[in-house]
A and B are shown apart, each in its own frame.
Chain A
Amino acid sequence: MSQTSLMSAANRRFALRLPSLETTAAWLLALIWIFPLLYAFWAAFHPAAYMVRFDLFAPVTLENFANAWAQAPFARYYLNTFLLVTGVVLAQFVVCTLAGFAFARFPIPGKEILFMLVLIQLFVFPEVLIVENYRIASSLGLVDTITGIGLPYVASAFGIFLLRQTFKTIPRELEDAARIEGCGWMAILLKVYVPLAKPTYLAYGLVSVSHHWNNFLWPLVVTNSVESRPLTVGLGIFSAPETGVNWATVSAATLLSIAPLLVAFLLFQRQFVQSFLRAGIR
């Protein structure tokens, strides 16, 4: 008996071993969980006629994407979402860094109470206060602007909390060394604290990007034109059942809206999961 046939015999034996009940359950659940997305993919790449009768060998087409792209200003929505997400995350980095630094390193009277006040924002989100925030946004002239969508989220309690925690763990000796070299407070923040907090910025940035890419209710309330509407709101308006857009086109539009985030997630799965974890453990 040659080496190869021995190998194949062993392989066969391995293959014949039935998977345990748990493996089967885990896989079954995984297939159920991924199925809706696969179905949307299938629908997006096949002619509308096949939505009604499933056929594995239906012709593949990109027509639905072309239709979606033509029927709604998705390019503009993309741009708006991109501007919104980058603007919000950068502004959050700046504002939360300053506040986190203050809470971590400065003797502010009543600091504990102030910090508790900040943490309240973990529960009272801009979307819960849509009614009053809309009035405030309109009195500031921010209705229907990308700034108006993002600004309520800039002073994020969550970002302040995360950065304060991180800054607190940085050894004081590093700061003292920088001070001996003649650095002022700002230089210490930028040269010592911020670089050492890079993993926190990455985690918080990822979580924040996905949150704002996906956010819907407040953007819906505060926007009313194509100029400022982000993808989610554009998609919501486009695919509302009463518009009568056909399904294949809706699923193409849906995939268009989620593609960048989905691709990023598939490429950087580990970072995503790690980030959500770091960010979630408050």
Chain B
Amino acid sequence: MLIHNADRRMQIYGALLLLPAAVLLGTFAYLPTVSTLVNSLFLPGFRGSPPEFVGLENYALLIEDRTFWRVARNNLVYALGTIPTSIALALGMALFVNARLPGRGFVRMAYFTPTILPMIAAANIWMFFYAPQIGLFNKILGTLGLSGVNWLGDPSVALGSVIVMTIWKEAGFFMIFYLAALQSIPPELKEASDLEGTGRWSFFWRVTFPLLMPTTLFVLINALINAVRVVDHLFILTKGGPNNATNLLLYYVYENAFSFFDRTYAATITVVILLVLAVVATVKFTILDRRTHYQ
């Protein structure tokens, strides 16, 4: 009886310890998630009239919304454009910095520095490169006698310009995870392969690369999240333009909510983002967490 009481007390104490976090998570994560889902089933009430329940009508609108499809496609292109390149570069950088290299400290710093800048600052800096008349890129093209490119104003180039900047910003961040993984690879493997006379290239593809697979998956998850979560640079570089050529899902949510004041439609697009994140989360918790590599 006494023990039972002590147990109860522990339980209550533990619950009290959890309370602040539970209240905050409830207020700013679960409640807004649920109300996003609910709101996507309504049309906003005008002039004080209550919102009207319309079922899946917002989703029907979404499917017919050509801008939405354009934005969704952009986001896919953006993810495909940034992620593999960033990861490949990150791996290359980590291999460089992990090897004996003169000025290694500087090189590592150079790779990593973009990571600690705010995205807004990075976008400002890249504005100096991309600007039409006075931007550095067009100046260089000009001295070579070529005509300038409208890096951010030409719909066929603008998304590519945003992608290039994002790669610059992210590769160094992923590099550190590879670097840590490389340093945990037992040196005996390299020694053994040297005895065998294995070439460096085949050592990389047969030993290093497979051993880095968990890191690659981990970085991939992070990169996928960032591809739907970070749209700060659009506010400076393109505002989603020209003609939605660089608009991404979360920016489109922002536009609908705070420029067009269409809250329920914004909620509907948010549901799409939440679905994407749910897929990523499922992959992480089922595939990644089976490997206890990170735990």
A interface, CB within 8 angstroms of B: 19, 22-23, 25-27, 29-31, 33-34, 36-37, 39-40, 43, 51-52, 54, 94-96, 98-99, 101-103, 105-109, 114, 116-136, 151-152, 154-155, 157, 160, 165, 185, 210, 213-217, 220-221, 231-232, 235-236, 239-241, 247, 250-251, 254, 257-258, 261-262, 265-266, 269, 272-273, 276-277, 280-282
Which residue on A lies nearest to B265, using beta carbons?
A131
The 3 closest A-B pairs by CB, nearest first: A106-B14, A132-B32, A155-B24
Interface CB pairs A-B, < 8 A, 6: A26-B96, A29-B96, A33-B171, A105-B14, A165-B295, A215-B118
Give every chain A residue within 8 A of B119 (Cβ-Cβ).
214, 216
Given contacts A52-B134, A120-B29, A128-B273, contact A107 B118 (CB under 8 A): no
Given contacts A128-B277, A236-B236, contact A276 B176 (CB under 8 A): yes
Contact status A123-B107, CB under 8 Å: no
Contact status B120-A216, CB under 8 Å: yes
Of A22, A116, A121, A130, the contact of B257 (CB 8 Å cutoff): A130
Contact status A19-B277, CB under 8 Å: no
Give every chain A residue within 8 A of B228 (Cβ-Cβ).
128
Contact status A39-B125, CB under 8 Å: yes
Given contacts A120-B29, A217-B232, A236-B236, contact A33 B267 (CB under 8 A): no
CA distance A95 to B96 in the complex (A): 41
Given contacts A25-B96, A235-B124, A280-B177, contact A129 B33 (CB under 8 A): yes
Give every chain A residue within 8 A of B88 (Cβ-Cβ).
none
- CB proximity of A50 to chain B, nearest CB, Å: 11
Contact status B177-A33, CB under 8 Å: no
Give every chain A residue within 8 A of B116 (Cβ-Cβ).
210, 214, 261-262, 265, 272
Contact with A along B3-26 (1 / 0, CB 8 A): 000010011011101101111110
B93 at the interface (CB under 8 A from A): yes
Which residue on B lies nearest to A31, using beta carbons?
B110
Summarize B's interface: helix, strand, loop or mixed.
helix
B187 at the interface (CB under 8 A from A): no
Give every chain A residue within 8 A of B22 (Cβ-Cβ).
99, 155
Which residue on A lies nearest to B232, using beta carbons?
A216
Contact status B29-A129, CB under 8 Å: yes
Number of A-B residue pairs having CB atoms within 8 Å of each other in the complex: 262
Summarize A's interface: helix, strand, loop or mixed.
helix
B interface, CB within 8 angstroms of A: 7, 10-11, 13-15, 17-18, 20-25, 27-33, 35-36, 39, 89, 92-93, 96-97, 99, 101-103, 106-122, 124-129, 134, 136, 139, 168, 171-173, 176-177, 180, 218, 222, 225, 228-229, 231-232, 235-236, 250, 253-254, 257-258, 263, 266-267, 270, 273-274, 277-278, 280-281, 285, 294-295
Question: For B39, B125, B229, which residue has the most chain A Cβ atoms within 10 angstroms?
Answer: B125
Give every chain A residue within 8 A of B258 (Cβ-Cβ).
221
Contact status B14-A40, CB under 8 Å: no
Of B14, B96, B285, the contact of A102 (CB 8 Å cutoff): B14
Question: For A96, A160, A217, which residue has the most chain B Cβ atoms within 10 angstroms?
Answer: A217
- CB proximity of B53 to chain A, nearest CB, Å: 18
Give every chain A residue within 8 A of B128 (Cβ-Cβ).
39-40, 43, 51, 247, 251
Which residue on A lies nearest to B8, using beta carbons?
A107
Contact status A155-B32, CB under 8 Å: no
Give every chain B residue within 8 A of A221 (Cβ-Cβ).
254, 258
